[in-house]
Amino acid sequence: MRKILLVLFTALIHFSLLAQKTGDTYSFEFKNVDRLKAIETIEATTPYHFYFEKEWMDSDKSLISGSYKNVTITTLLESIFNNTSLNFYVTKNKIILTQNNVIHEKLATNYFGAIKTENSNKDSNDLTGKPVFYQQYDSINKSYTKNNNGVVFIGKETKTTDAKFCTITGIIINTTTGKPESNIVIKVRNKNISTISDNDGNYSLKLPTGTNIIETRSLSHKKVVKTLVVYNNGELNINIAENSNQLDEVFIKGKGSKAVESVVSGVISIDIEAMKNMPLILGERDILKVATTLPGVKTTGEGSAGFNVRGGKDDQNLFLLDNAVLYNPQHFLGFFSSINPYTAKKATIYKGSIPADLGGRLSSVFDITTKNGNPETITGEGAIGPITSNLSVSVPLEKNKSSLLFGGRATYSDWVLKSLKNDDLANSQASFYDGILKYNNALNKNNFLESTLYYSHDKFSLSSDSIYSYSNRLASIKWDHSFNSKNKAAVILTNSEYKFDIDFDTTAKNAFVSGYKLNETQLLLKFNYLYSDKHKFQYGLTSKLYNVYPGFLNPTNPNTTLKPIEIAQEKGLESALYVSDSYKINDKFSVDLGLRYSLYASLGETDQRVYAPNLPLNDATVIETKHYGNNQVATTYGTFEPRLAARYLLTDDLSIKAGYDKTSQYIHLLSSNVTQSPTDTWILSNLNIKPQTAQQASIGIFKNFDNNLYEVSLESYYKKSKNILDYKVGAQLQLNEHVETELLQGEGKAYGIEFLVKKQFGRLNGWLGYTYSRTFIKLDSQFSEEKVNNGNYFPANYDKPHDVSAILNYKFTKRYSLSSNFVYQTGRPITYPIGTYIYNNANYTLYSDRNAFRIPDYYRLDIGINIEGNHKIKKLAHSFWNISVYNVLGRANPYSIYFVTDGDGKVKAFKTSIFSIPVPSITYNFKF
Amino acid sequence: MKIKITSNLFSLLLLCFIFNSCTEPYILETNTYEEALVVEATITNELKKQEITITKTSRFEDKETQIEKGADVFITDNTGTRYHFEEESGKYISTIEFQAIPGKEYRLNINTKDGRTIVSTTETLSAINPMQDVKAAVETKDSLRGVAIRVSSYDPTNTAKYYRFEYEETYKIIAPEWRLKKAITIDGVNGANPTLEVIANDPNTRICYSTKKNTEIILTSTNELNEDRVDFVPRFISDQNYIISHRYCILVKQYVENLPAYTYYKTLKKISGTESILSPLQPGFLNGNLKSVNNPNDKIMGYFDVASVSSKRIYFNYIDLFPKDPPPPYYTKCDEQALLFCFGPPPCYGDELVYYFANNLMTYSLHEGILYHIYPAPCGDCTTFSSNIKPPFWVD
């Protein structure tokens, strides 16, 4: 620091001395003249003579205006050559202009800018674009304490360089894995030049000769800034590190200009680090909660476990954690997500334009990947909150080659509850934990290995005698192999298990234990073939075997009248072939064309009923029961699923995109509850349950303003689906051997318009989203028992037309920041009791048409404050405190409305709210 | 100390979070009420004047059910016959006696006063399979001892399959504390100087007969059995139920239902019944087979049911089924009270006694001077909750 101050001091003296030399003052008036004219004017009225190349003036014919009274020649010239690449050198009566380079004896005006960056990073942007005197680089670079890369000279300086633009090429390499990194944006500061690295990490940039400062931009990597002095074409390889262990300022940053440039629309990328700035619920960072603040992703209600993406049902979302399916991504009925935010690297949510290599669910894919461990040194991070504590540790196994990352999270609510005096509470329990272990190994230049193990467990008991528990278990292993620079392959093997158990009313006569289990194993082969710059092919195949144990019920009290139930196992094989081409037709127009064919086979051993054709499915219309032996194919369904996306760049920061995709789904969740609950069961398609299919068409317009500071998008979609599962009035879904007799398969339609504006960085950043969307279902049939609402379209349970969310962060200082989150949603539809009637001497309640009414609107404001620890580099652990208040307004948002008939036969309505008062929480986070 | 504060903070959070999930009454919008017609129409193969009731749905706060009056109601069959129904004391009764004939197709037509036309789908008579036997036997069900009314029937053609039962039970009641004398008040409650007088009791207040119909929907199906053999208990009476204390009779009606009708009743039963432990049932409006022609979205409750019926009445006495057991407890608890007939502060209860006897709230047992022994009224007078008219079918 002292050294820098000294430099600053000497610089100031030097500058003032220079200024005195050229102390005479002049007055000028310029009105829309070019610089050549200005120079001529100055030469005419002052003793000075200019020396320059005329073509410099030709290259920039912008007009200048200005009025100067009694200014020194230096001030005058500074003003005139501001925003140009020209420097000047005043010596006696000569003024020598130079392009880019500065003549040695004089300090460039922007010397101050460079010094200033030491105090405030923000201003570092001002530094560039103006010519830079390269001898200063030593001190400039000191200001980038983390990105201490020296100046790079590209090409050979020659006096006769003709090229105004030079091409720089190179490879971007991950310092951790040694792998080339694709999709890294390389931007030239203050110039509208950028590029993206291709799948092999190659990039190519056309830079003007002279000084350029380039930086890499990626959500998941540390920023690398390099100062280049470009004389000629050349090569520069850039090493970048993963963003796993830094504690700098975090931007809520989308993909920058990528949102405009990428071909697919309907994609949300969540920057895990950015979540630090979100207000928390009970001190928990939550990826999925962040997702719900973006247009198109909704939940049915506070504390509900399911997600509804663009009018899709809860079960139409594919949650992938390192390629393996996570069946229940939520803890404790949806209050917490089961994804550890400290080990997650990236979450990409496809609301539309689902890539052809993904499939099996209708509405969306939540593709979540875990960080790799740090192969250099032991690092860790953790949080202590009111409900849970969280710790993740990364250990290198073989330096710079392989590492292990472990993340764990657990509640201590059980212990708290037990210590309470209140008997009701002491007998209750609510606990969960999850753990993840990730191993990665860069075997050699062409082979990489990654493996993930994950387990989550929930246990809760709300009425004191019944215990519910559920768990997710998954494992995945992935081997990446490069055959050559054009061909790559990945082999992925995954296994997931979801199960729940109910230990009901353990002390009563009708006590029972009940359970459910689902297991799936998947093999995926993915190939990438870089055919040319214009065509990039991906192809592969996947096959998945499902084993579903639909449930059992075993009475535990010998005096019970309950009968044990056991429902036979279901088996299915879902396979798919896909091929896709990213076709760059020209610089402006690109198309992603994907073709996927999925094939599902319902496998034995199974007994399946055959119902009379053209009659409702019920016990009476059974013609026969067919038996299928083990692995015998009972029935198959195939779906051709084209996926199309197109982008046309109108200008560099304005694009229009369109997409069409078809999806199919062979596994369905049975859930008559309004919200998804952990005791809902998944069933497979079979003879009587057809696969669901959906088609979505979407169009969007994407615009970035102000050098990507603001990102605005407007997207619209229309979706039609077939064979959506719904239920007959009075359906009994659990432990039902012939559940098809309770099901209806209908049509769905959904449409919406999504608006999002993001301010990507700066002191004040955040986003505002508004969605108008509608979702309808139609259940029609010639049989009255299979008709709902007279066969008309009716709003789905999760139809919430208006949805506004706003996230705002404000950074007061480096250490203090405030974040807020506001949500407004139309109340969801509900079926009301609308009257009573007497039939056969008994009183009945008359219900409205399904979903004819709505519960009150939902709104909520959360506020959080982050306080960072000091920014000393050498200390044991970085830390920050988060203080949040959830539901600041204390709005009693209805979670559910239910009806109770009291003793007098009167129906009363009750409203349950989960957080009806502001809920404060405080969390301590640390990193080492 | 620090730990304690923290733990209190935790519990506060958890309290609100998990348990104090803040339930509050929610005002049901009254404008949710929709007036809809409820049609009860079961036409049987019994030759009689058939009955149809048409009522309206009511608001939750309403006590009375409104009857749809002035409607033009008729049933047509596929041979062109029209059976007219006329309104009579809140019901629509066919002008002539008729019975449903197998193979004929029937359709119910209703033209309401306000111009709505409601028609049913065409229905045919269900299979005919009369009950073979109805028996009463002492059985234990769910570790509860009582009398099971067991129905058996058998359809060798295996076509009936779906059964619905109705019953009407009638039982004799004997007031246990009936006395030859009763107390009446003179000068009434507000009289200046009320007194009590003991006179001969009305002998018709000792023995009564109550008749009740089933209120729940009773269904059984033989679909999953190898043969169409019904062995079913439509009524089970606990041995602690006062209704079987003396003599009891039950009329059991067995309707054979078509599958759609059976499905309708089954769903109706399900949505009105207790909810499943694991997941609540899907609520909603249940479609029957009646439609409004003018507006297909109108809700018409009920089912036009054409079903074969058979009925059987049986009697039993408590003493025959439970020769060794004491009779079950009475309708109400009969605890004797003794109050002083005088006016002033307690122990005087003159005002109360006058009020009780004048309004028949308590029944007189005996008195010793001004000390009156009394019982709750039903203990001495069964007409307070039942009827002393012996039903015409009753056989002692």
Q: What is the pLDDT of residues A439-493, one digit of tens each?
A: 999 888 899 999 999 999 998 876 556 788 999 999 999 999 999 989 999 999 9
Partner residue opposite B267 with nearest CB, options A462, A672, A729 = A729
Listed residue (A730, A496, A346, A785) closest to B288, CA to CA? A785
What sign for the dihedral angle of Cα B236, B241, B243, B247?
A: positive
In angstroms, rounded to a whole number, what is the distance separating the alpha carbons of residues A263 and A353?
9
Question: Do residues A449 and A440 make contact, with C-beta atoms less than 8 angstroms apart?
Answer: yes
Cross-chain Cβ contact A732/B276 below 8 Å? yes
Task: Please tell me the distance in Å from B354's CA to the nearest CA on chain A.
Answer: 31
Q: What is the pLDDT of residue A123?
A: 38
Separation in Å, CA of B383 to nearest CA in chain A: 23
High-pLDDT (> 90) share of chain A, %: 29
Number of Cβ within 10 Å of residue B96's Cβ equals: 8
Each residue's pLDDT, cut to its tens digit, for chain B (396 residues) gives: 222 333 333 334 444 444 445 566 666 655 667 788 999 999 999 999 999 999 998 887 777 888 999 999 999 999 999 999 999 888 999 999 999 999 999 999 999 998 899 999 999 999 999 999 999 999 888 778 999 999 999 988 888 889 999 999 999 999 998 999 888 887 755 666 778 888 888 889 999 999 998 888 899 988 777 788 888 999 999 999 999 999 999 999 999 999 889 988 988 887 776 544 445 567 778 888 999 998 888 889 999 999 999 999 999 999 999 998 898 999 888 888 888 888 888 888 888 888 888 888 888 888 888 888 999 999 989 998 999 999 999 988
Does residue A645 have a pLDDT over 70? yes
B5 inside 8 A of chain A by CB: no
Q: Which residues of A touch B264 (CB under 8 A)?
A: 785
The Cα–Cα gap between A715 and A772 comes to 11
Q: In the structure encoding, which two tokens stand for residue A385, read together? A: 């909150």
Residues 99-128 in B contacting A (C-alpha not used; CB under 8 Å): none
Q: Where are the alpha helices (DSSP H) in A753-864?
A: none
The letter for the amino acid at A756 is L
Write out residues 266-295 of A within 8 Å (CB-CB) of B.
282
- Please state the domain extents for chain B: 32-124, 133-174+210-281+308-321, 181-205+330-381
Of B15, B18, B279, the CB nearest to A672: B279
Q: How far is CA A174 from CA A401, A448, A564, B305, in A?
A: 12, 13, 58, 76
- Ramachandran class of A890: left when φ > 0, alpha when ψ lies in -120 to 50, beta otherwise: left
Q: What is the rounded distance in angstroms from the CA atom of residue A445 to the CA atom of residue A435?
A: 31
A679: closest chain B residue by CA: B278
Q: What's the distance, Cα to Cα, between the start and end of chain B in Å?
A: 80
DSSP code of residue A873: S
> Hey, is the C-beta of A727 within 8 angstroms of any chain B C-beta?
yes
Same fold, B32-124 and B133-174+210-281+308-321: yes
Q: Phi/psi at B341 (nearest 5 deg)?
A: -85, 90
Specify the pLDDT at position A139.
36
Q: Judge: B32–A853 Cβ closer than 8 Å, yes or no.
A: yes
> Are B25 and A909 a contacting pair at CB < 8 A?
yes
Alpha helices in chain B (DSSP H): 2-14, 259-272, 318-321, 350-358, 377-380
Give the nearest chain B residue to A844 (CA atoms): B272
CA distance B162 to chain A (A): 10
Query: By mean pLDDT, which of A230-239, A900-909, B80-89 is the weakest?
Result: A900-909
SS3 call for A139: helix
Distance from CA of A847 to the nearest CA of B (A): 5
More confident: A287 or A392: A392
Q: How confident is the model at residue A35 (pLDDT cuts 50, 70, 90)?
A: confident
Q: What's the rounded Cα separation, in Å, for the pair A94 and A77? A: 13
Q: What are phi and psi of A696, to 5 degrees?
A: -130, 135
Please check the confidence at residue A133 and state whether its pLDDT lies above 50.
Answer: no
Binary contact (B13, A788; C-beta < 8 A): no
**Quick one: fold of B133-174+210-281+308-321?**
Immunoglobulin-like (2.60.40)
Query: What is B32-124's CATH number, 1.10.10, 3.30.1120, 3.30.1460, 2.60.40?
Result: 2.60.40
Q: Name the burial class of residue A121, with classes exposed (0-12), middle (13-18) and buried (19+) by CB atoms within 10 angstroms of its CB.
A: middle
Distance from CA of B283 to the nearest CA of A (A): 6
Q: CA dist A682 to A156, A291, A547, Å? A: 66, 24, 11
Contact A785/B at CB under 8 A: yes
B58 touches chain A (CB under 8 A): yes
Q: Which among B14, B36, B224 is the nearest to A846, CB-wise? A: B36
Please state, in angstroms and rounded to a whole number, the distance separating the CA atoms of residues A303 and A913. 10
Predicted TM-score of the model (pTM):
0.71
pLDDT at position A74? 80
Go through the domains of chain A in sequence order and give each one's CATH number: 2-117 (3.55.50.30), 144-241 (2.60.40.1120), 260-927 (2.40.170.20)
For chain A, counts of helices (H) and of strands (E): 10, 57
Pick the most confident of A57-66, A240-249, A354-363.
Answer: A354-363
Q: Which residues contact B176 (CB under 8 A, 6 or more apart)?
A: B330, B334, B379
Determine the average pLDDT of the residues in A27-35: 81
Q: What is the DSSP letter of B121?
A: P
Cis previous bond, A341, omega within 30: no
pLDDT in tens, A341-354: 888 888 889 998 89
Q: A290: part of which helix (H) or strand (E)?
A: helix A287-291
- Judge contact between A108 and A87, C-beta under 8 A: yes
Length reported for chain A: 928
- Nearest CB among A784, A838, A895 relative to B65 is that of A838
Residues 444-473 of A with CB under 8 A from B: 462
Amino acid at A148: N
Chain A residues with CB-CB distance to B268 below 8 A = 730, 839, 844
- C-alpha atoms less than 13 angstroms from C-alpha of B233 in its C-beta half-sphere: 13
B chain contacts of residue A924, beta-carbon cutoff 8 Å: none
Task: Say yes or no to pLDDT of A38 above 90.
Answer: no
Does B271 contact A846 at a Cβ distance shorter than 8 Å? no
Residue of B191, B185, B180 whose CA lies nearest to B359: B185
Provide the β-strand partners of residue A716.
A699, A753
Q: Which residues pair with A638 in a beta bridge?
A: A599
| Count of alpha carbons within 13 angstroms of residue B157, beta-carbon side | 6
Please state, in angstroms and rounded to a whole number, the distance separating the CA atoms of residues A240 and A232. 24
Token reading at B248: 């009891």
Q: A923 vs A753, which has greater pLDDT?
A: A753
What pLDDT is stored for residue A903 in this prediction? Answer: 52
Q: Is the pLDDT of residue A135 over 50?
A: no
pLDDT class for A209, splitting at 50, 70, 90?
Answer: confident
Burial status of residue B157 (CB atoms within 10 A of its CB: 0-12, 13-18, 19 or more): exposed
| Six-digit token string for A725 | 């599962």
* Residue A678 touches partner B, C-beta closer than 8 Å: no
The beta-carbon neighbor of A844 closest among B10, B213, B272 is: B272
Q: Does A157 sit behind a cis peptide bond, omega within 30 degrees of 0 on the bond before it? A: no
C-alpha A902/C-alpha A24 separation (Å) is 97
User: Long-range contacts for B267-274 (Cβ within 8 Å, ≥24 apart)?
Assistant: B267/A728, B267/A729, B267/A730, B267/A785, B268/A730, B268/A839, B268/A844, B268/B217, B269/B216, B269/B217, B269/B219, B270/A730, B270/A732, B271/A729, B271/A730, B271/A847, B272/A842, B272/A844, B272/A845
Nearest to A716 by CA among A663, A756, A758: A756
Closest residue of chain B to A335, computed from CA coordinates: B17
Over range A144-160, report the average pLDDT.
Answer: 52
CA–CA dist B370, A545 (Å, integer): 89
Query: What DSSP letter does each residue of B9-20 carry, written as one string?
Result: HHHHHHIIIII-
pLDDT at position A272 is: 73
- Put simply, the answer to whether B214 touches A841 (Cβ < 8 Å) is yes
pLDDT, tens digit, 9 for 90 and up, residues A709-760: 888 999 999 999 999 988 887 777 778 888 888 888 999 999 999 999 988 7
Structure tokens at A273: 């680090």
On chain A, the residues whose CB falls within 8 A of the CB of B16 are 915-917, 919
pLDDT for B392: 92
Higher-confidence residue of B190 and A80: namely A80
Helix intervals (H) in A346-467: 413-418, 423-426
Distance CA A597, CA A53 (A): 64
The answer to whether residue B288 neighbours chain A at the CB level (below 8 Å) is: yes
pLDDT at A187: 82
